[in-house]
Amino acid sequence: QMSAFAGNMLQVAGTGGKPLTVLSETAHRSLEPAQLAALERHNPLLPCAIPVIETSGGGSVRCMMAEIFLPPKGEGAP
């Protein structure tokens, strides 16, 4: 599972702020049904097909996404 990028999942805020977990199709296929069920109890999974990135770059979805931890403009801004 580690070589299939299962450790490179990222939980993000989707439409309306609802959480979802982004992962590659490679990672998704590597997980056992019980593992998928455990993850899906928390929020939906969004598997993405990115074979070129995984085979040529050595990274996966987490490497392609920017994490922004700032409050939205107008919320808590000085």
Q: Tens digits of per-residue pLDDT, 37-46?
A: 999 999 999 9
Q: Which residue has the higher pLDDT, 14 or 1?
A: 1
- The answer, yes or no, to whether residue 77 has pLDDT greater than 60, is no
Q: Which long-range contacts (CB under 8 A, 24 or more apart) does 48-54 make?
A: 48/22, 48/23, 48/24, 49/24, 49/25, 50/24, 50/25, 51/25, 51/26, 54/5, 54/24, 54/26
- The answer, yes or no, to whether residue 1 has pLDDT greater than 60, is yes
- The answer, yes or no, to whether residue 75 has pLDDT greater than 70, is no
Overall average pLDDT of the 50-66 stretch: 87
